[in-house]
Amino acid sequence: MKLTGTIINYYFHCKRQCWLFSNRVNLEDNSEDVHIGRILHQIEHDRKKDTEIKIDNIAIDRITPEYLIEIKKSDADVEATKWQTLFYLKVLSQKGIHRKGKIEFLEKNKQDKKVIFVELDENAIKKLEDLENEINDLVSEATPPNAINNSKCKKCAYYEYCYI
Ligand code: SF4
């Protein structure tokens, strides 16, 4: 299976979500949270027109001479976003494009945005290789992992699928 940034993100968020999405049980359009995320993303994209680029199976929000910039609607899952961005940096680096990662979290109803930085060093590359193997093993399982029963489930696109 060809990994994407979304699959890496979901692996950190919830392994069941990662399995469902990777096995094409796709309920994303039903989620209000995902809908809001797309609108915020579109607003930011329109503001900085023509900066999103697609390479292979990844879509990068912005790229500057120094940074690959990933834009998120909240900082609810920093670890997931960090590894998603590192995955993008790795894909770019394999094409000879070397950048640092800058992640901007746009909070709803807030003027300020939180920014964190990541760099693709040897440790990150090794961890990404391990992650890619773990994810491939997970999504090849015949059935998904159990629901995690966590407060974040209420904001998840799969909530109805998992609990109702
Ligand atoms: S609702 Fe909860 S258990 Fe189900 S996929 Fe989403 S986060 Fe995972």
Identify the weakest region by mean pLDDT among 27-31, 69-73, 98-102.
Answer: 27-31
The structural domains of the chain, ordered by start, are 5-163 (3.90.320.10)
CA of 77 from ligand 1 middle (Å) equals 14
Instruction: Write the DSSP string, 73-139.
Output: S-STTHHHHHHHHHHHHHHHHHTT---EEEEEEE-TT-S-EEEEEE---HHHHHHHHHHHHHHHHHH
What is the pLDDT confidence band of residue 86, given thresholds at 50, 70 and 90? very high
- From 9, 20, 155, 159, the mutation candidate for ligand 1 (largest count of ligand atoms within 8 A of CB) is 159
For residue 36, the model assigns a pLDDT of 63
Residue closest via CA to ligand 1's atom 5 equals 17
pLDDT the model gives residue 34? 63
